[in-house]
Structure 1
Amino acid sequence: MKSYICIVEGKVTGDKVIGVTFQSWAKTVADELGLKGWIRNIADGKAEILLQGSAEDYAVFRERLKTEAPIPDLRNVTCNARDHDKEHDHFEARG
């Protein structure tokens, strides 16, 4: 399954910015675009996102991530395509 892995660097944990957490924002946008996969916080104030869906929807998500995500100190977004052995049927926040 063609998938995209993104690492987001910035203050991604817990705090609400404009009334929403980054994980809930990511889930809302992924659901709007019909993307599947997950988001989870990882070490050093980063989040990892696995996205599955069309290249067009992924491109929209990535652009919105850079321009709309509620991360006041967004430092970097790195995304790479890769084959993933599991196909997800929804998008979830994993903590």
Structure 2
Amino acid sequence: MVAMHVHITGRVQGVSFRAWTCERARELGISGWARNRSNGSVEGLVSGSSEAVETLIAALHEGPPAAEVKDVRATETETHAESGFRIHG
């Protein structure tokens, strides 16, 4: 099991990015959360098997159809998410 803090920039708010991420995460069995930041980015915590987390992070580079992702930063963390995936604020 691994946990990654992710930060996504670009046109990622107002394009259902968090809901899309939540769907992908649930399909992959990943726990965590996603939230909008005041600077227009999206931040999240994802935890699960290495393979599932790598798959989700790769998908975040594309995002939903209306998104324009500029950058995805993923940093390993020791903080693991509670079971399930949630959208915050």
Give the match for residue 89 of structure 1. Answer: 83
Aligned with residue 19 of structure 2, among 24, 28, 33: 24
Q: Percent identity?
A: 28
Structure 2 unmatched runs, 5+? none
Count of aligned pairs: 88
1:15-54 equivalent positions in 2, closer than 5 A: 16=15, 21-54=16-49
1:49-88 equivalent positions in 2, closer than 5 A: 49-67=44-62, 69-70=63-64, 72-84=67-79, 87-88=81-82
1:2 deviates by 3.8
- In structure 2, what is the Cα distance between the partners aligned to 1:46 and 1:87? 20
- In structure 2, what is the Cα distance between the partners aligned to 1:7 and 1:60? 16
The amino acid that maps onto 2:82 is H
**CA-to-partner distance for each residue in 1:8-38, whole Å, 9 max, x for gaps?**
0012222x4xxxx111100000000000010
Radius of gyration: which is bigger?
1
Q: TM-score, normalised by structure 2?
A: 0.88
- In structure 2, what is the Cα distance between the partners aligned to 1:3 and 1:9? 20
1:42 deviates by 0.8
**CA-to-partner distance for each residue in 1:20-73, whole Å, 9 max, x for gaps?**
x11110000000000001000112111101001011100100111113x12533
Aligned-residue CA RMSD (Å): 1.6
Looking at secondary structure, tell me which structure has more strand per residue.
2
